[in-house]
Amino acid sequence: MDSEALKEFVIEQLEDAKAQNINVIDVQDKTPITDYMIVCSGTSSRHVKSIAVQLVQKAKEQGKQPIGVEGEDTSEWVLVDFGDAIVHVMQANVRDYYQIERLWSNDLSS
């Protein structure tokens, strides 16, 4: 699965899991570690964990094993690393606090 197909697959899975405010950031020209940062929100720790678990399960069914999964213990912020795409599933308050989308945007003035 190339990075574009992976991105589309991840978005589809996040939508199926009712993730909120899905934002895809193309970072190919900013970092060699990944092509896409995909950020979304869950409504609670249970929802965040459920989104991440479902994403990993569906990816494995398609033969795409994640490199790593971090944060499932507290489920405030779960990171799923697929190499070409890194997915951040966050509770809304944690997302607001860390503002990782702002870190990767071109406009650092906001």
- When the candidates are 3.30.460.10, 3.40.710.10, 3.20.20.140, 2.30.110.10, the CATH number that belongs to 3-103 is 3.30.460.10
The predicted pLDDT at position 108 comes to 44
Coil vs helix vs strand at 108: coil
What span, in angstroms and rounded, lies between the C-alpha atoms of 99 and 68?
A: 22
The predicted pLDDT at position 110 comes to 42
| Mean pLDDT, all residues of the chain | 92
Counts for the chain of helices (H) and strands (E), in that order:
4, 5
Percent over 90 (pLDDT), the chain: 83
- 71 close to 54: Cβ distance less than 8 angstroms: no
The predicted pLDDT at position 106 comes to 59
Is 70 exceeded by the pLDDT of residue 77? yes
DSSP states of 31-78 as a string? -SS-SEEEEEEESSHHHHHHHHHHHHHHHHHTT---SEEE-TTT-SEE
Domain-by-domain residue ranges, the chain? 3-103
What span, in angstroms and rounded, lies between the C-alpha atoms of 91 and 8?
A: 22
Is 60 exceeded by the pLDDT of residue 109? no
Q: Which residues contact 68 (CB under 8 A, 6 or more apart)?
A: 79, 80, 81
Tens-place pLDDT, residues 14-65: 999 999 999 999 999 998 999 999 999 999 999 999 999 999 999 999 999 9
The predicted pLDDT at position 105 comes to 74
